[in-house]
Amino acid sequence: MTAQVITVTSGKGGVGKTTAVANLATALAMDGKRVVCIDGDIGLRNLDVVMGLENRIVYDIVDVIEGRCKLKQAMIRDKKYPEMYLIPAAQTRDKNAVSPSDMVRICNDLKPDSDFIIIDSPAGIERGFRNAIAAADKVLVVTNPEVSAVRDADRVVGILESEEKSNSSLILNRLNPVLVKNNDMLSAEDVLDLLGIPLIGIVPEDENVIIGSNKGAPVVTDAKSRAGQAFRNIAKRLQGQDVPFMDLDSQNGLWSAIQRLTGRK
Amino acid sequence: MNFFTRKKSATNAKERLQLVLVHDRTDLTPAQLEALKDDLLKAISKYIEIDPDAVQIGLERDGRSQRLVADIPLRSVTRNRAG
C-alpha cells in the first residue's frame, strides 16, 4: 500500500487550514493509520504549535532539502500517537527554499511507510501553494461561510482545475447554525451551489477548537466536541467510509438539503 | 429597522458572490461585458434587424462552467409582406 497525499489549502488565510490538518491527521492516527504531516508554510511555521510539538523540533524540511539531515531526522514523532509524525517548516527561510519537485520527492520517499501524507498549504496562490499541491492526490479546500473566504476558495478551485488537480473537495469550516437559521450566514447549500465542488465535511463553529490549540491537543481528541466529531467524520470519509453528515443543531431542513446535494442518504 | 422587512444578509451575500464569481472566473469586467454586447449587436445588425432595447446578454453559471447567454429578439420582416 502506498500513501495517499492530501493537501489542505484555502486561498484566504485564517479560515482554519492548520487546524484542519492537525485534526484530520490526529483523527486518522486515532483510527490506527500511519500519518505524516508536512507544514508547507515556510517562514510562518504554525502546525508545530497547534499539534503541541514545538519543543521537539531539531531539523526542518529545508534541512532535508539542502542535505543537512536525513528525512527521518526531520520527522517529529507525536507525543500521543507514535504512528503520527510532523515535518516542520523552516522558520527563518522563505518559500523559495522549496520547489514543487522537492515536495514530490519527499512525498515519494514517505509513501512506502505511511498511509496518509497531509500537507498544510500556506495562504495565497503563489509559490508556497504551488509547492503544497505539487504532490497532492487529493486537495481539500477549506472555506468559511463568508464572502471573502468563498471568493478566494473559488479562485483556488479554478487554479486546481487548470492544473488538472480536479480531485478536490470542500470543508466548510466555522458554520454557525443559528446564524444560518436566521438567514444571516451563507448556508452549506449556498456555498456548495456557488463553488460547485463536492462537500467532504461541515465543521460547526466551536470554542473547543481554540481551547484545543491553546493546549496543543487537537479538538478531535475531545469526544464531546461538535467540531471534533465533524473532523472525525471527515477522516472516516478520507478512508473511504460513507459517514452521514451531522445533524447540525437538529435543523432537519439543512441536513436533508445537504444530503440531497451530496447524494448521500 | 423592521424585522419583517429587513432583507437578510445571507441572501445579499449570495447574490453579490454570484456576480463576483462569474466575473472572476471569466476575467471579464462589467465594462468589458458591455463593450462585448455593443460589438455583438453591431455585428448582428449588419445582417438582420434587431430591437437593441429588447436584447439581453449576460453570463450564466452552470456548475463550475460559465456561458454567455444572449436573447436577441428579431424584428419581424413578415409583417411588411403581410401589410
DSSP for chain B, written as a single string? --TTTPPPHHHHHHHHHHHHHHHHHHT--HHHHHHHHHHHHHHHHTTS-B-GGG-EEEEEEETTEEEEEEE-PBPPSHHHHH-
For residue A254, the model assigns a pLDDT of 55
A158 at interface of B, judged by CB pairs closer than 8 A:
yes
Domain extent, residue B58, equals 9-82
Position B3 scores a pLDDT of 54
* pLDDT of amino acid B6: 65
Model-level pTM? Answer: 0.88
Looking at residue A153, its pLDDT comes to 98
| Of the partner residues A151, A185, A186, the one whose CB lies closest to the CB of residue B21 | A151
Q: Tell me chain A's radius of gyration from C-alpha atoms.
A: 18
Is the Cβ pair A183, B24 closer than 8 Å?
Answer: no
Inter-chain residue contact B10 with A158, CB threshold 8 Å: no
Q: What is the ipTM of this complex?
A: 0.84
In terms of CA atoms, which chain B residue is nearest residue A158?
B25
Question: Could you tell me if residue B3 is inside a domain?
Answer: no
Partners of residue B8 in chain A, C-beta under 8 Å? 182-184
Neighbours of B78 (CB within 10 A): 7
Residue B1 domain flag:
no
- Total domain count, chain A: 1
What is the C-alpha to C-alpha distance for residues A99 and B42, in angstroms, rounded to an integer? 50
Answer yes or no: is B43 within a domain: yes
- Average pLDDT, stretch B21-37? 89
Q: How confident is the model at residue A248, as a pLDDT?
A: 81
> Which structural domain range is residue A63 located in?
4-262
The pLDDT of residue B8: 87
How much is the pLDDT for A259? Answer: 56
The predicted structure's pLDDT at residue A200: 98
Cα Rg, chain B, nearest whole Å: 18
DSSP state of A101: H
B6 to chain A, any CB pair closer than 8 A? The answer is no
What is the structure's pLDDT at A252? Answer: 47
CB distance B10–A185 less than 8 Å? yes
Locus of grid cell 453579490 = B16
**What amino acid is encoded at A165 in this protein?**
K
Specify the number of domains making up chain B. 1
Q: Which three cell numbers stand for residue A112?
A: 512506502
User: What stretches in chain A show pLDDT beneath 70?
Assistant: 1, 249-265
pLDDT band per the 50, 70, 90 thresholds, residue B28: confident
B31 belongs to a structural domain: yes
Query: What CATH number did the domain enclosing A169 receive?
Result: 3.40.50.300
- Which carries the bigger pLDDT value, residue B2 or residue B39? B39
Residue A184 pLDDT: 96
Q: What is the average per-residue pLDDT within B10-37?
A: 91
